[in-house]
Amino acid sequence: MLANLRRAVIASAVFFVLLGLAYPLTETAIGQVFFSHQASGSLARDGSVLIGQTWTGPRWFTGRPDADNPMATGGSNLGPRSKTLVKDVAAQVTRLRAKGIPPTPDLVTTSGSGVDPDIPPADAYAQVTTVASARGLSAERVRQLVTAHIEGAQFGFLGAPYVNVLQLNEALARL
């Protein structure tokens, strides 16, 4: 009986060292060597490009309304007949129109993750006039900036083109 217990303890210790220490440390090292930017959280000057940031005021491009609370990840699970959803969308439409931004579906609804950092190019173009006038820039210059930050579908066919709001706003700040 003690022999079996000793074997079990030794096997547990070996697997703890291999699978609990060596394997995770090896994977971390591989990630840092080959994918350092991604493994470190894809950080930029103003936050992570993987998490939607809150941008306020007409001087900045804004993302989806879910970026207001980056700690609350996940969808709201509100269905199309939800009175709360209808009220939230109507309030967002009113806010956008007050800023002079034509509301688009993605600018008034939340994403499934709750922290989507990207918007479709049409949503960025909808904000060009407002951002340009707030910054004293020409609308054409801001439109060119948006065009330069459009990322294509992954591998050319997966998904749709998008604009990362954080990277776009950081480029805007450099102008």
| Mean pLDDT over the full length of the chain | 87
Q: For the whole prediction, is pTM greater than 0.85? A: no
pLDDT of the residue at 116? 81
85 lies in the same domain as 147: yes
pLDDT of the residue at 36? 84
In sequence order, what are the residues at sequence separation of 6 or more whose Cβ sits closer than 8 angstroms to the Cβ of residue 146? 121, 124, 125, 128, 163, 168
Residue-wise pLDDT for 131-155, tens only, equals 999 999 999 999 999 999 999 988 8
Residue ranges of alpha helices (H) inside the chain are: 2-15, 23-34, 36-39, 83-99, 105-108, 121-126, 128-135, 139-148, 165-174
58 lies in the same domain as 12: no
31 lies in the same domain as 95: no
Tally of domains in the chain:
2
Higher-confidence residue of 5 and 51: namely 5
99 lies in the same domain as 20: no
pLDDT classification of 67: cutoffs 50, 70, 90? very low
